[in-house]
Structure 1
Amino acid sequence: MTKNELWYLLIDGQQDAETGVVGNFYAYGKHLGDALDKTIKASIDYKFINHNLTEASLFDNFDIIDNNKELVKIADNVYMRPTTYTFPFDDPDNEFIPPIGIVKSVFEGEYEYVLIKENFVAYGADENGIFEFELVLTKENLIDTFIKTIEFLPTIDGFWIYIKNYWESDLTELWVAKHFIDKHTVIDFLKTQKKNTLENGYLDIVVHALAGETNLTLDDHKKIQLHTKDEGVFNDFIGNIIELGYEQTRDFYNLEFGYHHFHYRPVDSLTRTEFKQMLTDNKFELIDKWEE
Structure 2
Amino acid sequence: MNKETTFYTCLIEERDDLNPFVQVYWAHAEEMGQAIEMMLDVAKENGLQRPFPRQCDPYDIKNLPDDIERSSDAAVFWTANRYAFPPGGKMLDLPVGIIASCIEGDHDIEEIEQGFTVFPGDKLKTIAVNVGVDQLEVLYGKILELFPVYKVFWCLLHDHWNDDSSDLFFVNEDLNSPDRIKAFIAENRANTILNGYITLTSYLEEGATNINISDHKRIIVRTYSKAVVDQISTLLESNELERKDSIVSIDAGIHHWHYRISDSLEKEQMKALLKSLGFKPWTPGS
Is 1:261 matched up with 2:250?
no
2:158 equivalent to 1:164: yes
Aligned residue type for 2:272: Q
Number of the residue aligned with 1:151: 145
Other-structure match for 1:62: 61
Which whole-Å CA distance do the structure 2 matches of 1:134 and 1:261 have between them?
Answer: 18
Matches within 5 A, 1:158-197: 158-170=152-164, 171-197=166-192
Q: Distance in 2 between matches of 1:154 and 1:133?
A: 20
Q: CA contact under 8 A between 1:134 and 1:224: conserved in structure 2?
A: yes
Shift of 1:143: 2.2
**Alignment check: 8 A CA contact 2:40 2:52 kept:** no
Q: Equivalents in 1 of 2:259, 2:3: separation in Å?
A: 16
Question: Deviation per CA, 1:186-235, whole angstroms, max 9, x where unpaired?
Answer: 10000111111111110111001111111100101111111111211211
What do the CA deviations read for 1:238-288 (whole angstroms, capped 9, x no partner)?
111110010111231111110110000111111111111111111101113
* Distance of 1:96 and 1:287 partners within structure 2: 35
Which residue in 1 is equivalent to 2:13? 12
Q: How many Å separate the matches in 1 of 2:86 and 2:96?
A: 23
Alignment counterpart, residue 125 of structure 1, candidates 109, 121, 127: 121
**Structure 1 runs, 4 residues or longer, greater than 4 Å off:** 86-89
Instruction: Report the 3-state secondary structure (helix = DSSP H, G, I; strand = E; otherwise coil) of the residue aligned with 2:127.
Output: strand
1:221/1:256 contact within 8 Å kept:
yes
The reply to whether residue 78 of structure 1 matches residue 80 of structure 2 is no
Counterpart-to-counterpart distance in 2, 1:141 and 1:180: 22
Residues 209 and 75 from structure 1, CA distance in 2 versus in 1: closer, same or farther, beyond 3 angstroms?
A: farther
- Segments of 5+ residues of structure 2 without an aligned counterpart are none
Alpha-carbon distance between aligned partners in 2 of 1:75 and 1:25, rounded to the nearest angstrom: 15
Once residues 230 and 72 of structure 2 are traced to their aligned partners in structure 1, the CA distance between those partners, rounded to angstroms, is: 52
5 Å-filtered alignment, 1:85-100, equals 85-86=83-84, 91=88, 93-100=89-96
Which secondary structure does the structure 2 equivalent of 1:166 belong to?
coil
Counterpart-to-counterpart distance in 1, 2:272 and 2:84: 44
Query: In 2, Cα distance between the equivalents of 1:9 and 1:221?
Result: 19
Q: For residues 55-100 of structure 1, what are the alpha-carbon distances to aligned partners after superposition, in whole Å with 9 as ceiling and x for unaligned?
A: 01112x31133xx2112102421000011234576x2x23232111
Q: C-alpha distance in 2, partners of 1:239/1:248? A: 10
Cα distance change of structure 1 residues 287 and 75 upon mapping to structure 2, 3 Å threshold: farther
Unaligned stretches of 5+ residues in structure 1 = none
168-177 or 42-51: which moved more?
42-51
Letter in 1 for 2:149: T
Amino acid at match of 2:57: S
Q: Distance in 1 between matches of 2:228 and 2:254?
A: 32
Give the TM-score, by structure 1 length: 0.91
* Equivalent residues in 2 for 1:133-148, closer than 5 Å: 133-148=127-142
> TM-score w.r.t. structure 2 length?
0.92
**Structure 1 letter corresponding to 2:66:** K
- Alpha-carbon RMSD: 1.8
Equivalent residue letter for 1:63: K
Name the CA distance, whole Å, in 2 between partners of 1:212 and 1:288: 21
- Of 235, 240, 246, the residue aligned with 2:241 is 246
Q: Deviations over 1:3-53 (max 9, x none)?
A: 0111101112356x7543421100011101111111122222211133311
State the AA in 2 paired with 1:84.
Answer: R
Residues 212/4 of structure 1: CA separation in 2 closer, same or farther (3 Å cut): same
CA shift, 1:103, in A, is 0.7
